[in-house]
Amino acid sequence: MTQVPDENGRFGKFGGRYVPETLMNALIELEEAYRHYSKDPDFIAEVRYLLTKYSGRPTSLYHAQRLSEHLGGAQIYLKREDLNHTGAHKINNTIGQGVLAKRMGKTKIIAETGAGQHGVASATVAALLGMECKVFMGEEDTKRQELNVFRMKLLGAEVVPVTSGTRTLKDACNETLRYWVSHVDDTYYILGSVTGPHPYPMMVRDFQRIIGDESREQIQKEAGRLPDYVVAAVGGGSNAIGMFYPFIGDASVKLIGVEAAGRGVDTDEHAATMTKGRHGVFQGSLSYVLQDEYGQVQPAHSISAGLDYPGIGPEHAYLKDTERAAYLPITDAEALEALQLLSRTEGIIPALESAHAIAQVMKLAPTLGSDQIIVVSLSGRGDKDVQAIMGYLEGGM
């Protein structure tokens, strides 16, 4: 298999760097610093140390026996990213980029956030490394995720409500990029997903691949073989690419990304970028985009703020078009049902994002034999969503 991305940040035709000229040298400088430090033993050791001692890695791969029995098919293993410090896989990336920012001599970090998970993970790392932190968050999301706003403030970060456009994640990304354009000299932008201009999709994948690397080793140790399926939820796609990447060369392992179908892919309210989107340039890279026929980006909808995004990382577009991975939609209602099932059968309340992956497993597992294996990324825990879920379950959709 050829190495992706190439030196221009291309995954096949996807990716690239579609940004204002003002940012080009900052991105080139970032790429050079990343290529340098990712081979530096001291840098690698520091990141590894923090992942182990601070975040608690490796996370366990847990055989969900009651869920497997209940669904009556394949054996289901959960990769417990929810057990990370701050409750989701996001910290893998913010630790990596935070340490990189420090090595680059930056004193301030900025980040965008949707649900607040990446914002919290960024604020956490900023506190840990003694850096200033500003988090841009759509005004709508600051209302939906009040508790996370407070968590970020508690961690010493400043939360900047974004009032442009749809006032959600996509506009928080725009605003963070705009701010970065004016402050490139001393500010490092910790992008939270495998989206945006090169080198972010490559770099964030590399920081998240620990999910798949650990899973691949753990399943072989526990089951003596590779899984038949690997399943992960996809918004921008960072936990999914982290999970998929080490398995890409294993032809027998089928990769399934699960995207948010919101109220249904035949309604106007979904975030099913792969199912309903087309190729386009959005926020710095060429990928699939939810857009109208004129190229205006469409607002997305999902019960899960982390999947509520009209774009997707370019490497996923590449995996889809080369047919190495399949991308399937799950509705809000299906995700809620899966969340309750996992809570009751295993005593694990998943994040709404991760519940989408579980919902796909609910469809897939019963079609498989009991000797088959599904590894699913449980990307985050549901604590942050409990209040919203209460609203949905008691107040209706």
Partner 1 sequence: MDIQVNAIDAAFARLREEGRTALIPFLTIGDPDLGTSVEIIEALEQAGADMIELGVPYSDPLADGPVIQRASERALANGRVTLEDCIQVAEHARGAGVKLPFILFSYYNPVLQFGLERFFELVTAKGISGLIIPDLPIEEDAELRAMAEAANIHLIPLVAPTSNDRVVRIAAKARGFVYCVSSLGVTGVRADFHQGIDEFLATVRSATNTPIAVGFGISSREQVERFSKQADGVIVGSAIVRKIEEVVPLLQSPAMKQDGLAQIRAFVGELKG
Are 310 and 241 spatial neighbours (Cβ–Cβ below 8 Å)? no
Please, which residue, 76 or 274, has the CB nearer to partner 1? 274
Could you tell me the smallest distance in angstroms from the CB atom of residue 168 to partner 1? 12
Could you tell me the smallest distance in angstroms from the CB atom of residue 314 to partner 1? 13
Q: Could you tell me which residues are beta bridge partners of residue 289?
A: 278, 311
Could you tell me the smallest distance in angstroms from the CB atom of residue 380 to partner 1? 27
Count other Cβ atoms within 10 Å, centred on residue 369. 9
Please, which residue, 81 or 141, has the CB nearer to partner 1? 141
Give, in order, the Cα–Cα distances in Å from 212 to each of 20, 206, 216: 34, 11, 6
C-alpha span between 371 and 4 (Å, rounded): 34
**379 in active site:** yes
C-alpha span between 345 and 352 (Å, rounded): 17
Read off the DSSP letter of residue 59: P
What's the sign of the alpha-carbon dihedral 127, 128, 132, 138? Answer: negative
Could you tell me the smallest distance in angstroms from the CB atom of residue 286 to partner 1? 8
**90 in active site:** yes
- Angle, vertex CA 270, rays to CA 162 and CA 356, nearest 5: 100
Could you tell me the smallest distance in angstroms from the CB atom of residue 225 to partner 1? 43
Please, which residue, 25 or 65, has the CB nearer to partner 1? 25
Binding site for partner 1 (CB under 8 A): 8, 16-26, 164-165, 170-171, 174, 177-178, 181-184, 278, 280-284, 289, 291-297
Residue type, 300: A
Are 91 and 201 spatial neighbours (Cβ–Cβ below 8 Å)? no
Q: Which two tokens stand for residue 389?
A: 């879920």
Choose, from 31, 46, 81, 112, the residue flagged as catalytic. Answer: 112
Choose, from 55, 122, 215, 379, the residue flagged as catalytic. Answer: 379
**112 in active site:** yes
Please, which residue, 170 or 384, has the CB nearer to partner 1? 170
Please, which residue, 188 or 229, has the CB nearer to partner 1? 188
Please list the active-site residues: 90, 112, 379
